[in-house]
Amino acid sequence: MTYQEVKLPQFPETPVFVSLFTGVSEDTLNTIKTELVAANKDYDFCFLNTNHVISLEHLYHSLYKSVLNHKNGTMRAKTLHTEIIFNLSPINNIMDALRRFGVDPECPDVIAIKVTDEPFEEVYKHLRKIVGAEAVEINDRVLEGLINVPKVKKIYKLNDAKLDEQHLQQLLTRLAIGACILRGN
Amino acid sequence: MTDHIIQQVQVHLPNIPLEVVSQGAEALVFQTSVHPYYSKPCLPHQDKFIIKFRPRKPYRHPKIDAAITKNRTIGEVKFMAKLTKLGIKAPSVILADFPNGIIWMEYLGKKLPNGDVSSLKNWLWYYEKVLADESLCLGSEVQQACINVGLLIGKLHLNDMIHGDLTSSNILLEDSEPVLIDFGLSSYSGMAEDKAVDLYVLERAMLSTHSKYSDHYVKWLLQGYEQIHGSKEFRSGGKKLVETLRKLDEVRLRGRKRSMLG
């Protein structure tokens, strides 16, 4: 399995497709970015750079929040895919969230997410064509190696927090989720 | 009464099994085995979670009720997030739904040999009633636990945070490491008065739930409280300690309320 099917216990009818690609070329990333801005239907995915995605728990919190907001009709962003990016951010500004968490030509590692009813195998085939690479397994250990800790600390304002280096990923996850929950309040 | 509230919360949490743990005037606390979005969270207990729910109050105006519920839920989550950031042991937040007054948090505490949750109250009662041996009740294990609780409360106060409802059941022991819970009445204050009242509330709670040995327990709690004020981590801790203890003597004479009116 190279992609993940996420089922939230509260929303079993809304499965989410999650996959990770590493070493994507800068040209491809630039194309993806242009096509996303042009709202090309073929590129209707949520693309994230891996610099600030601390762990699966962090990512899934955003998925849950976004699907919930989608169901309740309380989304702040225009689409569910943008909402996922926005809900990762501790700052109440969608443009800012897109800039920080969205696809970044300087970061060759990309997480692609899609909320859809289409069969996931088809989705993956299509995605492989766009990205031009094979997906790799996504888990906490892989993500830990891809995060940029100083940048994460800066975004989530954790420079004054007491962090135990041994459980860094765990602590950062807890603190980042806390910051996302409290965004704007 | 409770059934009605459970129905209310089930609307917001479909497919989630709920088991009532405790009920207060303001909120209901549930335990569940399902994590809302991830089956392997970075937490010590991966199959138990706590949900705190503030139900609607029918006697309040709906608009005011919604605002109060939302603000109190936000306040509590903020307090808990700040504690995590400061490294003070408290449950961390998993998820919050402010308008509906729902907070998901980490499960903490162990089971005691007699099946009760390891709150300080149950733990001390276990020593007092089940083991019922004075040398154990006043032994070094209990002493160390009380000192650790004192250290924890001291740390909280040194960060100008007030728990507001310190009782022995609002302190959990996770392998003799104390953890604070229930921040429904918490506030921020640097005043010695508020800290002294916080300590006084704990002192009274200890006196009423553990009357037999409460003077020993309180002595050890204050010993830990004094110890942390002397640590190098906090500047001018000594001065703050003197002020708080002086106020505590005052509060002991007059009670929790500042004025005798009303």
Of the candidates B14, B84, B98, which has its C-beta nearest A175's C-beta?
B84
Do A60 and B38 lie within an 8 Å CB cutoff? yes
DSSP chain B: -HHHHHHHHHHHSTT---EEEEE-SS-EEEEES--SS-SS-SSS-SS-EEEEE----TTS-HHHHHHHHHHHHHHHHHHHHHHHHHT---PPEEEEETTTTEEEEE----B-TTS-B-BHHHHHHIIIIII--HHHHTSHHHHHHHHHHHHHHHHHHHTTEE-S---GGGEEEETTEEEE---TT-EE---HHHHHHHHHHHHHHHHHHSGGGHHHHHHHHHHHHHHHHTSTTSTTHHHHHHHHHHHHHHHHHH-SSSSS--
Interface check B75 vs A, CB under 8 A: no
CATH number of A3-181: 3.30.2380.10
CATH number of B2-106: 3.30.200.20
Interface check A139 vs B, CB under 8 A: no
Give the DSSP H/E element, type plus range, for residue A11: strand A11-21
Domain ranges of chain B: 2-106, 120-254
Measured between beta carbons, which residues in chain A are less than 8 angstroms from residue B155? none
The active-site residue out of B47, B133, B165, B182 is B165
Tokens of A6: 């996420």
What pLDDT does B209 receive?
A: 93
What pLDDT does B262 receive?
A: 52
What pLDDT does B197 receive?
A: 94
CA atoms within 13 A on the CB side of B219: 7
What pLDDT does A42 receive?
A: 87
Residues 79-108 in B contacting A (C-alpha not used; CB under 8 Å) = 80-81, 84-87, 92-98
Do B15 and A12 lie within an 8 Å CB cutoff? yes
Low-confidence ranges of chain A (pLDDT < 50): none
Measured between beta carbons, which residues in chain B are less than 8 angstroms from residue A179? 81
Architecture of the domain defined by B120-254: Orthogonal Bundle (1.10)
Interface check B207 vs A, CB under 8 A: no
What pLDDT does B18 receive?
A: 92
What pLDDT does B234 receive?
A: 83
Do B96 and A181 lie within an 8 Å CB cutoff? yes
Q: Identify any residues that bridge with A112 across adjacent strands, giving them in sequence order.
A: A19, A47
- Chain A and chain B share a number of CB contacts under 8 A equal to 74
B182 is catalytic: no
Gap between the Cα atoms of B50 and A142, Å rounded = 29
Using DSSP's 3-state secondary structure scheme, residue A181 falls into helix
Q: CA of B103: how far to CAs of A74, A180, B106, B142, in Å?
A: 18, 14, 10, 32
By residue count, chain B amounts to: 262
Encode chain B (262 residues) as per-residue pLDDT tens digits: 688 888 889 888 888 899 999 988 889 999 999 999 988 888 888 889 999 999 999 999 999 999 999 999 999 999 999 999 998 999 999 999 999 999 999 999 999 988 889 999 999 999 998 888 888 889 999 999 999 999 999 999 999 999 999 999 999 998 879 999 999 999 999 999 999 999 999 999 999 999 989 999 999 999 999 999 998 888 888 999 999 999 999 999 988 887 666 5
Q: How near does any CA of chain B get to the CA of A179, in Å?
A: 8
Asked if the ipTM is above 0.90, the reply is no
By CA distance, what is B84's nearest residue in A? Answer: A175
Do A179 and B81 lie within an 8 Å CB cutoff? yes
Domain ranges of chain A: 3-181
Do A182 and B42 lie within an 8 Å CB cutoff? no
